[in-house]
Amino acid sequence: MAKSILKEWAGRFRSEATGVSAKTEWADQLTRARNAGPRMTNQTTIDPARHGPGTLAVHAGTYNDPITGAVGTPVFAATTFLFQKESYEAFDQGMIRDYPIYTRYGNPNQWAVQEKVAALEHAESAIVFSSGMAAISTTLLALTNKGGHIVTARDLYGGSYNLMREDMHQFGREVTFVDPMDIDAITAAVRSNTEVLFFETLTNPLLKFAPVKALAKLAAENNIFLVLDNTFLSPCCLTPIDDGAHVVIHSGTKYLNGHSDLIAGTAAGSRKYLDMIWAQMLKLGGSLNPQDCAVLERGMKTLALRMKAHTENALALAEWLARHPAVARVYHPALPGYPYSWAAESLARGSGGMVSFEVKGGDKAGLKLMENLKLVHAATSLGGVESLISMPFNTSHSSLIDRQRREVGINPGLMRLSVGIEDIEDLKADLDRALGAIGDIRQ
Report the first-to-last Cα separation within the chain, whole angstroms.
Answer: 67
Sorting pLDDT into bands at 50, 70 and 90, what band is 10? very low
Nearest to 152 by CA among 172, 178, 181, 185: 178
- Whether the pLDDT of residue 37 is over 80: the answer is no
Residues 195-221 pLDDT 10s: 999 999 999 999 999 999 999 999 999
What is the pLDDT, as a whole number, of residue 33? 54
Sorting pLDDT into bands at 50, 70 and 90, what band is 154? confident
Q: How far apart are CA 353 and CA 358, in angstroms?
A: 17
What is the pLDDT, as a whole number, of residue 19? 40
Q: 40-54, 224-238, 401-415: which range is least confident on average?
A: 401-415
- Whether the pLDDT of residue 310 is over 70: the answer is yes
What is the pLDDT, as a whole number, of residue 393? 79
22 vs 387, residue with greater confidence = 387
Residues 329-384 pLDDT 10s: 999 999 999 999 999 999 999 999 999 999 999 999 999 999 999 999 999 999 99
181 vs 12, residue with greater confidence = 181
395 vs 278, residue with greater confidence = 278
Q: At what angle do helices 108-121 and 290-300 cross, to 10 degrees?
A: 30
Residues 253-264 pLDDT 10s: 999 999 999 999
Q: At what angle do helices 132-142 and 271-284 cross, to 10 degrees?
A: 110
Q: E strand or H helix at 268, and its extent?
A: strand 265-269
Sorting pLDDT into bands at 50, 70 and 90, what band is 35? low
Q: What is the pTM of this model?
A: 0.91
Sorting pLDDT into bands at 50, 70 and 90, what band is 32? low
- Whether the pLDDT of residue 20 is over 70: the answer is no
Rounded mean pLDDT of the chain?
90
Residue 199, burial from CB neighbour count under 10 angstroms (0-12, 13-18, 19+): buried
Nearest to 295 by CA among 267, 256, 268, 249: 256
Average pLDDT estimate for 75-79: 96
Q: E strand or H helix at 221, and its extent?
A: helix 212-222
Sorting pLDDT into bands at 50, 70 and 90, what band is 236? very high
- Whether the pLDDT of residue 27 is over 90: the answer is no
Instruction: List phi, psi (to 5°) of 419.
Output: -80, 125
Average pLDDT estimate for 18-45: 61
Which residue numbers are catalytic?
104, 157, 229, 254
Residue 288, burial from CB neighbour count under 10 angstroms (0-12, 13-18, 19+): buried
- Whether the pLDDT of residue 1 is over 70: the answer is no
